[in-house]
């Protein structure tokens, strides 16, 4: 199938025309147009999602994995990063051209008792570095470490986390670290982690170092908005106070991170799948400029992952909108057209 598309591309804001042929974008013109006008973006990205399961008490299921990935795709999310799962993502999913492209991180790696029971791979401190390398190799480039859990529980010690990060970097792979305590966030940054997932209670004094070493922040507002809403309805407790304080401070962390030059990326963490427009809205409310917030779910995320955008010869993965989403970010929830690998989804 050969067809053309023309419109204003983001982030460069240029009027461009492409021909889609053999699953690739080519600069040029075509008489058969899918879209003539509008705003063309590289396919959307969810940088933190866990398809295949509906929650900690729900077993991973191949059917759910396909359905969740299709929900992402049908919302214009054509690339996902899966930072941890109960199982390694099965080979059929990344190889299916009808599903979003996947960057996975194997199984969660967690100290015993510091994650949802049975929901990851429990490892001791002595096992962490080898396990991190094993998961990164199996996943094809990423591993995910649960660096901390609830207040009062020990974080992965700095020297242990540093050794694990170094071991993974030695094989050319990257490390995402779950952080929601001040100590956990500190250890992750000092260890040289590639991404901080969540970042509640984060020490702002670490942001300059985080920016200098290229550590990204994926705050996952979407899931913590739900957690905070449930906490407000619960009985008073130290854990409830801690959660609500972390939620209240998260917008300030994200805003300060952006101002310090940290790359902030968009990830939802939870169902409903394909809900990245909501996360972008939270980033805007936190104080990110709308163009930065939209980029966090599209071109910036792709560049950070080493994936191409709207380039001649790149895979034809793009979305088209009637309005400029950097002016009206809510329009991200309503793409006019979605093209994945040159195939028209919508």
Residues 147 and 176 in one domain: yes
Give the C-alpha separation, 337 to 2, whole Å. 15
> Tell me, what's the pLDDT at 133?
98
Residues 141 and 253 in one domain: yes
Residues 7 and 127 in one domain: no
Residues 194 and 339 in one domain: no
Nearest to 201 by CA among 225, 223, 227, 219: 219
Residues 297 and 325 in one domain: no
CA 173 from centre of chain: 16
Give pLDDT tens digits along the chain (346 positions).
899 999 999 999 999 999 999 999 999 998 899 999 999 999 999 999 999 998 887 889 999 999 999 999 999 999 999 999 999 999 999 999 999 999 999 999 999 888 888 888 999 999 999 999 999 999 989 999 999 998 888 899 999 999 999 999 999 999 999 999 999 999 999 999 999 999 999 999 999 999 999 999 999 999 999 999 999 999 999 999 999 999 999 999 999 999 999 999 999 998 899 999 999 999 999 999 999 999 999 999 999 999 999 999 999 999 999 999 999 999 999 999 999 999 999 9
Residues 31 and 131 in one domain: no
Residues 140 and 289 in one domain: yes
> Tell me, what's the pLDDT at 153?
84
**Other C-beta atoms within 10 Å of 328: how many?**
12
DSSP 252-285: HHHHHHHHTTPPB-----SSSTT-HHHHHHHHHH
Structure tokens at 78: 């054509």
**Other C-beta atoms within 10 Å of 90: how many?**
13
Residue 246, domain extent: 44-305
Contact 116, 56 (CB under 8 A): yes
Give the helix ranges, DSSP H, for 260-295: 276-286, 290-295
Q: Which pTM was predicted?
A: 0.97
Contact 12, 324 (CB under 8 A): no
- Domain at 12, CATH number: 2.30.40.10
Contact 44, 78 (CB under 8 A): yes
Residues 138 and 19 in one domain: no
The structural domain count of the chain equals 2
DSSP 53-87: -SSTTS---HHHHHHHHHHHHHTTEEEEEE--BSS
Residues 225 and 289 in one domain: yes
Residues 267 and 254 in one domain: yes
> Tell me, what's the pLDDT at 29?
92
- Domain at 229, CATH number: 3.20.20.140
Structure tokens at 109: 């790696």
């Amino acid at each position: 199938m050969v067809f053309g598309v023309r419109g204003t591309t983001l982030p460069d804001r240029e009027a461009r025309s492409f021909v889609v042929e053999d699953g690739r974008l080519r600069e040029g013109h075509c008489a058969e147009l899918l879209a003539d006008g509008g705003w063309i973006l590289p396919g959307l990205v969810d940088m933190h999602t866990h398809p295949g399961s509906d929650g900690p008490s729900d077993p991973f299921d191949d059917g759910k994995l396909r359905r969740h990935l299709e929900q992402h795709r049908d919302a214009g999310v054509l690339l996902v990063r899966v930072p941890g799962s109960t199982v390694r993502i099965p080979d059929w999913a990344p190889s299916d051209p009808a599903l979003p492209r996947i960057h996975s991180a194997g199984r969660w790696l967690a100290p015993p008792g510091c994650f949802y029971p049975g929901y990851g791979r429990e490892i001791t401190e002595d096992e962490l570095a080898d396990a991190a390398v094993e998961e990164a190799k199996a996943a094809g480039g990423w591993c995910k470490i649960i660096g901390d859990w609830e207040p009062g529980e020990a974080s992965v010690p700095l020297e242990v986390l540093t050794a694990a990060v170094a071991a993974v970097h030695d094989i050319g792979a990257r490390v995402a670290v779950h952080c929601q305590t001040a100590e956990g966030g500190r250890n992750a940054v000092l260890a040289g982690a590639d991404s901080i997932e969540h970042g509640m209670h984060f020490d702002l004094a670490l942001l300059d170092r985080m920016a200098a070493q290229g550590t990204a922040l994926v705050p996952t507002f979407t899931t913590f908005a739900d957690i905070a809403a449930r906490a407000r309805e619960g009985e008073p407790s130290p854990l409830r106070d801690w959660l609500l304080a972390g939620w209240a401070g998260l917008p300030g962390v994200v805003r300060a991170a952006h101002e310090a030059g940290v790359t902030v990326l968009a990830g939802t963490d939870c169902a409903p799948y394909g809900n990245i427009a909501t996360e972008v809205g939270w980033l805007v409310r936190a104080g990110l400029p709308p163009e930065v917030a939209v980029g966090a779910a599209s071109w910036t995320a792709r560049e950070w992952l080493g994936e191409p955008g709207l380039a001649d010869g790149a895979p034809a993965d793009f979305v088209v909108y009637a309005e400029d989403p950097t002016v009206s970010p809510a329009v991200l929830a309503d793409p006019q057209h979605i093209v994945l690998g040159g195939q028209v989804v919508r």
